[in-house]
């Protein structure tokens, strides 16, 4: 499969990104290209303009200072993040999540900005033009009137499967978005997501992600991301869970728990967090938190993976991620 | 002193540098002046009559040079089985549909244009009017009483039935103390070569066509292309450049091969067609998915008395290897154990899905999963060690089985002992903690089919020619197809050993139907015994011609000569010798002709015979390989995840011409069945292929692979060249049951449905433990 024709643009700085996005309708940004290029080959995306932002060095930074916290330019590669010493030490879940994306080759190309912006996927949608055009009906995602994932569904049920968002949610990250006017907007990463499969994030065509910021976690904080996939590499998770636990004086002071690959976006599990906060963490309590996670999630089936199995996995992965985080936090 | 100087050595393959550096030129790499790009229009309905195909708008599109449909090809369909007495209906596929389409992806039309984009655009302009028919996606649906026929000839949509009865199973079961019966199922899988199909066809003004094809069977393709184009076979030249894997699926003459030639004829320009990965998934040959009912009767002591097996295979829309697939699934149950008495019924059913053909481990993978899993159950019930029950029932060298297989050599017991020792069986089996386990399985496989399925009167089964050069080099011409397994190196090693020269003195010209001798191709693990056999004979004949001359030159008796170190010596008189190069010059001077030799391999008289796939009593192969896999696994009881820690894979290849190549075959083939065991799950929905890329079709990556310990067992066969047998398909036949049996040892559940996914394991565990 070949790429469709497009015009190629190359901004030199952040300002130029905004002006190019404003000037050219029907444009997309490309960084690592690991997600967008296959979609262009499949003619899911056929932009008139492709804006390559990878020449902007400013956006590649991985900076950590105890007071300022961690700042990741949106072009920081997943490989660099997974191998960064401060990220491994202070933001372990993020290093683990970034290190489990796809394969070494794809992590070398793929960026954090791209990973958090990945659209939901579906076996009825992420197919070639030839395949889709032969089908008798269009699904919601293609502007049609139905969803093939579940008969009678009133909405698109494509699955969100990115690895890093649950880790970022658990760690309390914030996203800096630059809008059409050039003005920066900082939001919690949770609010970055719409929880709608048809368009999973709030980015407008003229917006772009500039950077991600995570405050330095308080002492006694540890985190963990666990992923289960069918394959050890080049695979999206069947389910993924991140836990970030702060223990102080023998008690859980704070907890962040989030999961992926269960629905229309990464899901923060406050119910599970609440089980832990204020209590001393025991195996029984962790089981309770895992049960709360199990009760909360309503996964969607995907390919050969049933909702039943995904839900079972969420219980196990939430339990194990809390345990692993706590074993280090104590 | 070592017995051999070139064979038995771990030598890098002749093509390794070219492949590693990217210098090797595959079919898709060929560019010819004025070359056009072709694309295939495929059916978007699973079953329909074609009422009309309107290509007029496509033909008018600027840049389009030719559009072809079923009207542009002859009325001779193709299929893998062509030789008499095969019934006509085994060949049931037209390259471009004539009247009907039978699956989503079935080929309807082909377009050649100045570039790929234009060709794709043209496809959108072809209008096909269908009269849709009811479509069936499982054998059960196809065989329903009110089902319409997918092919007119096939009542109840049964594509082929193979059944046979060896000995007396009624008596066998009557004599049995226990009868075990169970049901199993296996899935469709894709051959998953990395190089997609590619074809470049150049139809010249003189009426000859030359094609560069990514194929395992260039001679079969030549015939199919000639028949499809309605031109003499000798007008078609098929060249097989390096091939990036075939694994059976490239034994088919898939539509791009014929369509590129048809388009080239119409356009008067060369045409290239490369299949997309999606086309590979939707429209090429898959491994048969089967459901099995299997019954084994045994004495208290573990002796097998009777086997009754029924196989239902989902054949997809066309016959392809059909009768052969169903025949092998039955006949290859008659080893490595004596079955006492044996009954088999194999029913292959047409469905509106991509067709099933021959894929590595063809017809052996499915029954072996069943039998070896059942052997494990039986040994447990009878409280007999799983190693012992296999040994006590094992076929032995010198024996003829009830299926009339002549066992010339058999390293099964040695393979079994070595595999279990390597895995640490004694200390692990039933002794590892909950969640950890070991399992074993044995297998056997044919070393090449001793039938000519395709040609009625082939000159031989395999031919090799050798030319001598005055610089002491030899050029070896073979029609065998190196598709990545390294057979060119194997044949060169055999010839070099026989001729007493180094491997670097042999150049191989392989697979060009115009210059290399006819060969059946690379399938049924035939190349080492058949092609290697021919190479040995050709090299011997060359050596004798050289000895004739050297005897004169050295004033010695021909019988006293030996060839080694690139010279011909008088045995016992090392000072009397002449170089091979000088001998070749001597030959020219004396004979005034080119120095060439040829060799043909045909199976011995006690093998093969009339191609009767309806008989169970027929010796199908010159010789058989044996082997055992012993596997250690960890099962995560909370997630159902299986981590295969190690596979000790012992394979009796007779004699390892190149041990490094044999080890490579063992490791590579395990990668393939490891995926079928645990991961690969080709999904369809109402005839639509859903898994169309390797992100969704979970072929194992290097990260997933367990540690594989290849163990070579050499039983020195009396028929194969230098004692060699096959080492390319049998090497993976035991993998799946060895993993399944290890899972049983780990967590006590019998997995009878492939692939064994974590979800299935978790469900089975919950069922076993009464649910949580």
Cβ contacts below 8 Å, chain A against chain B, sum to 76
Establish if A142 belongs to a structural domain: no
Residues from chain A that touch B683, judged by Cβ atoms under 8 A, are: 123, 303-304
Establish if A120 belongs to a structural domain: no
Domain CATH for A75? 3.30.465.10
Nearest to A127 among B104, B692, B698 (CB): B692
- Say if residue A171 is in the same domain as residue A68: yes
- Say if residue A190 is in the same domain as residue A294: no
Inter-chain touch A2–B116, beta carbons under 8 Å: yes
Full residue range of the structural domain in which residue A261 is found: 221-329
* Residue of A5, A41, A106, A130 to mutate, testing the B interface (most B Cβ within 10 Å of its Cβ): A130
In sequence order, what are the beta bridge partners of A64? A70
Establish if A83 belongs to a structural domain: yes
Measured CA to CA, the distance from residue A5 to residue A13 in angstroms comes to 25
Measured CA to CA, the distance from residue A75 to residue A78 in angstroms comes to 9
Question: To which H or E segment does residue B310 belong?
Answer: strand B304-316
Query: What mean pLDDT is predicted for residues B286-314?
Result: 98
Q: Are A190 and A212 in contact (CB under 8 A)?
A: no
Assess whether pLDDT exceeds 50 at residue A130: yes
Establish if A77 belongs to a structural domain: yes
Work out the pLDDT band at B62, boundaries 50, 70, 90: very high
- Say if residue A12 is in the same domain as residue A76: no
Q: What is the DSSP letter of B26?
A: -
- Say if residue A210 is in the same domain as residue A225: no
Helix (H, G, I), strand (E, B) or coil at B313: strand
- Nearest residue on chain B to A229, judged by CA atoms? B641
**pLDDT mean across residues, chain B:** 96
Measured CA to CA, the distance from residue B500 to residue B256 in angstroms comes to 43
- Say if residue A67 is in the same domain as residue A176: yes
C-alpha closest to that of B167 among B605, B733, B616: B616
DSSP B151-212: STT-GGGEEEEEEEEES-HHHHHHT-SEEEEEEEE---EE---SS--EEEEEE-TTS-EEEE
- Say if residue A207 is in the same domain as residue A82: yes
Give the end of a domain, one of A54, A74, A93.
Answer: A54
- Say if residue A313 is in the same domain as residue A225: yes
Residues B704-750 have pLDDT tens digits of 999 999 999 999 999 999 999 999 999 999 999 999 999 999 999 99
Helix (H, G, I), strand (E, B) or coil at B239: strand
Placement of tokens 């390559």 in the chain: A52
In this prediction, residue B88 carries a pLDDT of 84
Placement of tokens 């070494």 in the chain: A104
In this prediction, residue B772 carries a pLDDT of 46
Assess whether pLDDT exceeds 90 at residue A150: no
Domain CATH for A308? 3.30.390.50
- Say if residue A91 is in the same domain as residue A182: yes
Inter-chain touch A1–B690, beta carbons under 8 Å: no
Residue B672 corresponds to which tokens in the numbers above? 């393939």
Helix (H, G, I), strand (E, B) or coil at B42: strand
Placement of tokens 């895995």 in the chain: B423
Nearest to B683 among A127, A238, A304 (CB): A304
Q: Are B473 and B466 in contact (CB under 8 A)?
A: no
- Say if residue A209 is in the same domain as residue A261: no
Q: Are A3 and A46 in contact (CB under 8 A)?
A: no
Residues from chain A that touch B756, judged by Cβ atoms under 8 A, are: none
Nearest to A230 among B683, B698, B702 (CB): B698
> What angle in degrees, to the nearest 10, is found between the helix axes of B255-267 and B218-229?
50
C-alpha closest to that of A41 among A131, A122, A129: A129
Helix (DSSP H) and strand (DSSP E) numbers for chain A: 12, 12
Inter-chain touch B639–A228, beta carbons under 8 Å: yes
B688 Cβ under 8 Å from any chain A Cβ: yes
Inter-chain touch A232–B701, beta carbons under 8 Å: yes
Residue B485 corresponds to which tokens in the numbers above? 């397994």
Domain CATH for A35? 3.30.43.10
Assess whether pLDDT exceeds 70 at residue A328: no
Q: Are A326 and A289 in contact (CB under 8 A)?
A: no
* Distance from the Cα of residue A169 to its chain's centroid: 9
**pLDDT mean across residues, chain A:** 95
Establish if A108 belongs to a structural domain: yes
Residues B407-436 have pLDDT tens digits of 999 999 999 999 999 999 999 999 999 999
Measured CA to CA, the distance from residue B17 to residue B181 in angstroms comes to 52
Assess whether pLDDT exceeds 70 at residue A330: no
C-alpha closest to that of B361 among B694, B742, B723, B737: B737
In this prediction, residue A142 carries a pLDDT of 85
- Say if residue A260 is in the same domain as residue A318: yes
Q: How large a percentage of chain B has pLDDT more than 90?
A: 96
In this prediction, residue B150 carries a pLDDT of 98
Q: Are B420 and B635 in contact (CB under 8 A)?
A: no
Query: What mean pLDDT is predicted for residues B22-49?
Result: 97
- Say if residue A71 is in the same domain as residue A205: yes
In this prediction, residue A303 carries a pLDDT of 87
In this prediction, residue A327 carries a pLDDT of 86
Work out the pLDDT band at B31, boundaries 50, 70, 90: very high
Q: Are B324 and B359 in contact (CB under 8 A)?
A: no
Distance from the Cα of B520 to chain A's closest Cα (Å) equals: 33
Q: Enumerate domains of chain B plus CATH numbers.
A: 16-23+461-601 (3.30.365.10), 31-133+194-245+249-283 (3.90.1170.50), 364-450+617-768 (3.30.365.10)
Pairing outcome for strands B596-601 and B462-468: antiparallel
In this prediction, residue A2 carries a pLDDT of 86
In this prediction, residue B616 carries a pLDDT of 86
Work out the pLDDT band at A27, boundaries 50, 70, 90: very high
In this prediction, residue A329 carries a pLDDT of 55
In this prediction, residue B443 carries a pLDDT of 98
Establish if A229 belongs to a structural domain: yes
Query: What mean pLDDT is predicted for residues B191-212?
Result: 96
In this prediction, residue A261 carries a pLDDT of 97
Q: Tally the domains of chain A.
A: 3
Query: What mean pLDDT is predicted for residues B62-68?
Result: 98
B417 Cβ under 8 Å from any chain A Cβ: no
Inter-chain touch A128–B700, beta carbons under 8 Å: no
Inter-chain touch A309–B695, beta carbons under 8 Å: no
* Distance from the Cα of residue A51 to its chain's centroid: 22
Q: What is the DSSP letter of A40?
A: H
- Nearest residue on chain B to A123, judged by CA atoms? B690
Query: What mean pLDDT is predicted for residues B31-35?
Result: 97
Establish if A184 belongs to a structural domain: yes
Q: Are A219 and A314 in contact (CB under 8 A)?
A: no
- Say if residue A302 is in the same domain as residue A248: yes
* Residue of A135, A158, A230 to mutate, testing the B interface (most B Cβ within 10 Å of its Cβ): A230
Inter-chain touch B639–A230, beta carbons under 8 Å: no
Q: What is the DSSP letter of A77?
A: B
B115 Cβ under 8 Å from any chain A Cβ: no
Establish if A104 belongs to a structural domain: yes
Residues from chain B that touch A305, judged by Cβ atoms under 8 A, are: 759
Assess whether pLDDT exceeds 80 at residue B771: no
Q: Distance between the two ends of chain B, CA-based, in angstroms?
A: 67
Q: Interface pTM (ipTM) of the complex?
A: 0.96
């Amino acid at each position: 499969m070949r790429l469709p024709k497009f015009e190629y643009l190359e901004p030199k700085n952040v300002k130029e990104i905004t002006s190019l996005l404003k000037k050219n309708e029907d444009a997309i940004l490309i960084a690592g290209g690991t997600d967008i290029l296959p979609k262009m080959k499949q003619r899911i995306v056929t932009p008139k303009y492709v804006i390559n932002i990878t020449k902007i060095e400013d956006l590649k930074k991985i900076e950590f200072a105890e007071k300022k916290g961690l700042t990741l330019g949106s072009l920081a590669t997943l490989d660099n993040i997974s191998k960064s010493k401060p990220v491994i030490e202070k933001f372990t879940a993020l290093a683990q999540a970034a290190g489990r994306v796809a394969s070494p080759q794809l992590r070398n190309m793929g960026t954090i900005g791209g990973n958090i912006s990945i659209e939901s996927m579906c076996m009825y949608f992420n197919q070639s033009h030839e395949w889709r055009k032969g089908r008798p009906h269009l699904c919601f995602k293609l502007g049609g009137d139905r969803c093939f994932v579940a008969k009678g569904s009133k909405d698109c049920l494509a699955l969100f499967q990115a690895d890093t968002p649950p880790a970022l949610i658990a760690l309390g990250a914030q996203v800096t978005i630059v809008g059409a006017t050039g003005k920066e907007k900082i939001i919690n990463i949770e609010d970055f997501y719409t929880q709608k499969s048809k368009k999973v994030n709030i980015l407008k065509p003229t917006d772009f992600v500039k950077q991600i910021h995570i405050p330095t976690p308080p002492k006694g904080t540890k985190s963990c991301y666990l992923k289960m996939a069918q394959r050890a590499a080049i695979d999206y998770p069947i389910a993924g869970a991140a836990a970030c636990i702060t223990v102080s004086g023998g008690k859980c002071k704070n907890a962040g728990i989030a999961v992926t690959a269960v629905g229309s976006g990464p899901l923060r599990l406050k119910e599970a967090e609440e089980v832990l906060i204020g209590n001393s963490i025991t195996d029984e309590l962790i089981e309770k938190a895992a049960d709360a996670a199990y009760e909360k999630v309503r996964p969607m089936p995907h390919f050969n993976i049933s909702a039943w199995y995904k839900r079972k996995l969420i219980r196990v992965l939430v339990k194990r991620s809390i345990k692993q985080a706590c074993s280090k936090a104590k | 002193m070592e017995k051999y100087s070139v064979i038995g050595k771990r030598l890098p393959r002749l093509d390794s540098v070219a492949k590693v550096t990217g210098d090797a030129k595959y079919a898709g790499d060929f560019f010819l002046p004025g070359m056009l790009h072709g694309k295939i229009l495929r059916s978007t309905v699973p079953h329909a009559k074609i009422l009309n195909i309107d290509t007029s708008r496509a033909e008018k599109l600027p840049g389009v040079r030719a559009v072809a449909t079923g009207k542009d090809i002859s009325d001779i369909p193709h299929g893998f089985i062509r030789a008499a007495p095969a019934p006509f209906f085994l060949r049931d596929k037209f390259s471009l549909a004539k009247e009907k389409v039978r699956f989503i992806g079935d080929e309807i039309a082909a377009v050649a244009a100045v570039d790929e984009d234009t060709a794709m655009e043209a496809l959108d302009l072809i209008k096909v009017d269908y009269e849709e028919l009811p479509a069936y996606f499982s054998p059960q649906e196809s065989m329903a009483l009110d089902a319409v026929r997918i092919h007119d000839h096939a009542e109840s949509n049964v594509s082929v039935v193979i059944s046979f009865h060896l000995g007396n199973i009624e008596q066998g079961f009557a004599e049995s103390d226990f009868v075990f019966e169970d049901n199993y199922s296996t899935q469709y899988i894709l051959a998953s070569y990395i190089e997609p199909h590619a074809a470049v066809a150049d139809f010249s003004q003189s009426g000859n066509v030359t094609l560069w094809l990514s194929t395992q069977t260039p001679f079969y393709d030549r015939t199919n292309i000639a028949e499809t184009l309605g031109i003499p076979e000798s007008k078609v030249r098929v060249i097989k450049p390096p091939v990036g894997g075939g694994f059976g699926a490239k034994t088919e003459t898939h539509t791009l091969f014929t369509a590129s030639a048809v388009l080239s004829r119409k356009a008067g320009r060369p045409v290239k067609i490369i299949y997309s990965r999606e086309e590979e998934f939707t429209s090429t040959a898959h491994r048969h998915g089967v459901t099995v009912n299997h019954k084994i009767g045994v004495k208290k002591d573990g002796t097998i008395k009777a086997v009754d097996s029924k196989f239902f295979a989902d054949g997809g829309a066309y016959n392809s290897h059909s009768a052969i697939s169903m025949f092998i699934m039955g006949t290859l149950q008659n080893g490595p154990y004596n079955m006492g008495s044996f009954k088999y019924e194999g029913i292959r059913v047409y469905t509106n899905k991509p067709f099933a053909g021959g894929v590595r481990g063809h017809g052996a993978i499915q029954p072996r999963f069943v039998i070896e899993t059942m052997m494990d159950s039986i040994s447990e019930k009878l409280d007999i060690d799983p190693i012992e029950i296999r040994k006590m029932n094992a076929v032995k060298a010198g024996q003829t089985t009830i299926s009339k297989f002549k066992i010339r050599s058999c390293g099964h017991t040695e393979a079994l002992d070595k595999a279990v020792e390597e895995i640490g069986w004694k200390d692990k089996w039933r002794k590892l903690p909950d969640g950890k386990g070991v399992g074993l399985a044995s297998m056997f496989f044919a070393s090449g089919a001793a039938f000519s399925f395709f040609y009625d009167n082939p000159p031989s089964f395999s031919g090799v020619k050798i030319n001598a050069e005055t610089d002491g080099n030899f050029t070896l011409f073979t029609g065998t197809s190196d598709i990545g397994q390294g057979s060119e190196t194997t044949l060169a090693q055999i010839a070099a050993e026989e001729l007493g020269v180094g491997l670097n003195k042999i150049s191989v010209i392989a697979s060009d139907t115009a210059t290399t001798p006819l060969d059946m191709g690379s399938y049924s693990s035939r190349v080492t015994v058949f092609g290697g056999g021919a190479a040995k004979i050709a090299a011997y004949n060359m050596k004798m011609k050289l000895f004739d001359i050297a005897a004169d030159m050295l004033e010695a008796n021909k019988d006293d000569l030996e060839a080694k170190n690139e010279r011909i010596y008088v045995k016992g008189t090392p000072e009397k010798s002449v170089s091979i190069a000088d001998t070749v010059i001597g030959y020219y001077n004396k004979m005034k002709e080119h120095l060439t030799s040829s060799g043909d391999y045909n199976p011995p008289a006690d093998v093969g015979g009339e191609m009767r796939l309806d008989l169970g009593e027929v010796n199908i192969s010159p010789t058989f390989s044996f082997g055992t896999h012993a596997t250690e696994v960890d099962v995560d009881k909370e997630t159902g995840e299986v981590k295969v820690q190690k596979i000790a894979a012992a394979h009796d290849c007779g004699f390892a011409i190149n041990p490094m190549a044999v080890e490579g075959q063992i490791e590579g083939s395990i990668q393939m069945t490891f995926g079928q065991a645990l991961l690969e799950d080709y999904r369809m929905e109402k005839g639509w292929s859903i898994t169309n890329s390797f992100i969704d079709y979970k072929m194992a990556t290097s990260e997933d692979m367990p540690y594989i310990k290849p163990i070579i067992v050499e039983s020195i066969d009396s028929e194969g060249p230098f004692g060699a047998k096959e080492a390319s398909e049998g090497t993976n036949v035991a993998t799946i049951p060895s993993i399944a049996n290890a899972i049983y040892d780990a967590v006590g559940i019998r997995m009878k449905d492939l692939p064994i996914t974590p979800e299935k394991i978790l469900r089975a565990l919950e069922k076993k433990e009464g649910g949580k």
